[in-house]
Amino acid sequence: MELLRRIFGSTLPPLLDGRRLVGVQHFLETTESLLAHLVSTQGLRFRDVELVGKPYSAIPAVQQSLVRQGCKVTVPTIPRPGDYRATQQACIRRVVETMVQAMPDPPIKHILLDEGGDLIGATGHTVRDLSCFCGIEQTRSGLPRALSVKFPVIQVADSALKRHLEPPLIAREVLTAISQRPALARADRFGVIGVGVLGSSLVEQLCRTGRTVWFFDTNSDTAGRVEQMNPSAVRCSTPDLVLRSAGVVLGSTGKDCLASVDAADIGRAEVRHFASCSSGDYEFLSLLRMGDASQIQDPPRAVNDIQVDVGRHELTVHNGGFPINFNREHELSAPEDIQLTRALLGGAIVQAAALLGRRRSRRVTGIMLSPGLQMAIARNWLELRPERRGDYSKEVLAGVSDRNWIVRNSGGSEIGIPLGFVW
Ligand SMILES: NC(=O)c1ccc[n+]([C@@H]2O[C@H](COP(=O)([O-])OP(=O)(O)OC[C@H]3O[C@@H](n4cnc5c(N)ncnc54)[C@H](O)[C@@H]3O)[C@@H](O)[C@H]2O)c1
């Protein structure tokens, strides 16, 4: 990945030499490339990497390749609808218990690369001596749990680049996934429920490609902003109105977005297809629970589309209610695009290693992803992908090269670390 090569040269001494990396990750081709890059430039050893995958995104070939190279990996079994979080948490707890039992004296420094806050949370609430840990949290929903612990946590989740540069790339992945599904490829009436960081990008790209869009968000300020920026999209005051007009509904709230909607109303509506964009199985859970449980094997052996009979017609919840942009066969993003996301993680891992290497003078938990690093990633990525500039407003394009803007738009405390990189 060219972006990684540009951002991270080798460091002397290699910052990850003798460090363990424990993480919760999607097992995708670019996840493996990121690790390989850290091995070749930063002294990380595959045998010092332990990863928990996600059952809805882990590509078996990537998992096997990681194992061959010496990583310890676990992927929880595919859960029944509604059991995703508990299954994932149980697996993470086992990894944490083993990590604690195997901790040598003196302890090895650990970097915890988390997606959802459960790994950092379980470690922070199990281990007594926390001085050898530094966490990295990638999801905003996981931040409250990750920040409840008493060791440093780098807040990639609410870094300026994650919030402002990444969402159009994920929205593009979602539209690619839709275009590859025969039942959805020709749809032209879309609903979007939840128009935050990801949902607003979805509305924008759907409008740009000529689809008609109805959207709803419980936050009226957020909905108002999206309405202003997308004059052709129709703002709805309730989720039922979205269901009444759209043929395909995308959910990007991170919650059970139809919990307040009556089954009879769903039955009377126009909607036929539901596709989640949010992590886990929460988005259409109440709908899945209306489905015929006998369709789902116990335990489920694959992530399948689920049919729900609501009387007048049948509805389809695609990809078992898991995010539509993961198919467990190959990555849907162009590697040149998604290297942005991997570079943010790689940068956070190097920043965590640098933090672990210095004596702690202050008790700071939430730490900003280095603004200098963010500027370097944005500059290089936009140089490598000039065609993506059209996805962003003038304010964002100017902002990502302005340190003050990055600091204003990133969460966590800014801590200067002399790393010796260009950033
Ligand atoms: N599929 C992917 O590759 C991918 C990538 C990044 C994030 N995500 C996931 O997407 C989800 C959304 O992320 P985000 O960053 O846009 O979050 P966000 O907090 O910016 O947006 C969520 C929006 O949903 C709204 N909302 C909450 N409950 C609602 C409800 N019941 N009805 C209508 N609106 C409601 C909120 O007001 C908010 O505007 C999360 O689950 C996140 O983990 C997925």
129 and 253, same domain (yes or no): no
pLDDT for position 11: 60
Mean pLDDT of the chain: 92
187 and 61, same domain (yes or no): no
208 and 232, same domain (yes or no): yes
Confidence of residue 10 (pLDDT cuts 50, 70, 90): low
Contact by Cβ (8 Å): 99, 123: yes
Instruction: With respect to residue 414, please indicate whether it lies within any of the assigned structural domains.
Output: no
54 and 157, same domain (yes or no): yes
Residue at a domain's end among 280, 298, 321: 321
Instruction: With respect to residue 282, please indicate whether it lies within any of the assigned structural domains.
Output: yes
10 and 152, same domain (yes or no): yes
| 408 CB burial (10 A radius; 0-12, 13-18, 19+) | exposed
145 and 262, same domain (yes or no): no
List CB contacts of 421: < 8 A, sequence separation 6 or more: 7, 8, 9, 11, 350, 373, 376
pLDDT for position 329: 93
pLDDT for position 421: 57
Q: Give first-to-last CA distance, the chain, whole Å.
A: 18
Contact by Cβ (8 Å): 357, 131: no
280 and 237, same domain (yes or no): yes
CA of 277 to the centre of ligand 1 (A): 8
Question: Ligand 1: which of 175, 252, 344 to mutate, judged by most atoms within 8 Å of the beta carbon?
Answer: 252
Give the chain's domain count. Answer: 2
The CATH number given to whatever domain includes residue 200 is: 3.40.50.720
287 and 363, same domain (yes or no): no
Is 30 a residue whose pLDDT tops 90?
yes
pLDDT for position 361: 53
For residue 324, which atom of ligand 1 is closest to its CA?
A: 1
Instruction: With respect to residue 294, please indicate whether it lies within any of the assigned structural domains.
Output: yes
pLDDT for position 162: 97
pLDDT for position 8: 77
Of 288, 266, 284, 286, the residue nearest 276 (C-alpha): 284
For residue 282, which atom of ligand 1 is closest to its CA?
A: 41
Query: Does ligand 1 have an atom closer than 6 angstroms to the CB of 194?
Result: yes
Residue 242 vs residues 21, 33, 56, 377: alpha-carbon distances, Å: 44, 40, 27, 38
Tokens of 32: 């493996």
Query: Does ligand 1 have an atom closer than 6 angstroms to the CB of 253?
Result: yes
For residue 223, which atom of ligand 1 is closest to its CA?
A: 39
Residue 93 vs residues 67, 73, 86, 120, 336: alpha-carbon distances, Å: 21, 14, 10, 10, 35
Domain span holding position 264: 182-321
280 and 338, same domain (yes or no): no
Instruction: With respect to residue 417, please indicate whether it lies within any of the assigned structural domains.
Output: no
pLDDT for position 6: 87
The CATH number given to whatever domain includes residue 155 is: 3.40.50.1480
CA of 403 to the centre of ligand 1 (A): 27
Instruction: With respect to residue 415, please indicate whether it lies within any of the assigned structural domains.
Output: no
CA of 217 to the centre of ligand 1 (A): 10
* Ligand 1 atom 11, closest CA: 278
Helix, strand, coil percentages for the chain (3-state, nearest 5) = 45, 15, 45
Q: Give tens-digit pLDDT for 133-151.
A: 999 999 999 999 999 999 9
11 and 157, same domain (yes or no): yes
Query: Does ligand 1 have an atom closer than 6 angstroms to the CB of 222?
Result: yes
For residue 280, which atom of ligand 1 is closest to its CA?
A: 41
pLDDT for position 389: 97
Is 233 a residue whose pLDDT tops 90?
yes
Q: What is the dihedral of CA 289, 144, 31, 414, to 10 degrees?
A: 160
**Letter for the amino acid at 344?**
L
107 and 147, same domain (yes or no): yes
Is 384 a residue whose pLDDT tops 90?
yes
Q: Give tens-digit pLDDT for 303-328.
A: 889 999 887 788 999 999 999 999 99
Question: Ligand 1: which of 30, 173, 197 to mutate, judged by most atoms within 8 Å of the beta carbon?
Answer: 197
75 and 10, same domain (yes or no): yes
CA of 279 to the centre of ligand 1 (A): 9
Instruction: With respect to residue 48, please indicate whether it lies within any of the assigned structural domains.
Output: yes
pLDDT for position 294: 65
- For residues 46 and 262, the model is more confident at 46
Residue at a domain's end among 321, 352, 383: 321
pLDDT for position 76: 94
Instruction: With respect to residue 31, please indicate whether it lies within any of the assigned structural domains.
Output: yes
Instruction: With respect to residue 419, please indicate whether it lies within any of the assigned structural domains.
Output: no
CA of 344 to the centre of ligand 1 (A): 20
Residue at a domain's end among 290, 321, 352: 321
Contact by Cβ (8 Å): 212, 188: yes
Query: Does ligand 1 have an atom closer than 6 angstroms to the CB of 219?
Result: yes
Q: Give tens-digit pLDDT for 45-91.
A: 999 999 999 999 999 999 999 999 999 999 999 998 889 999 999 99
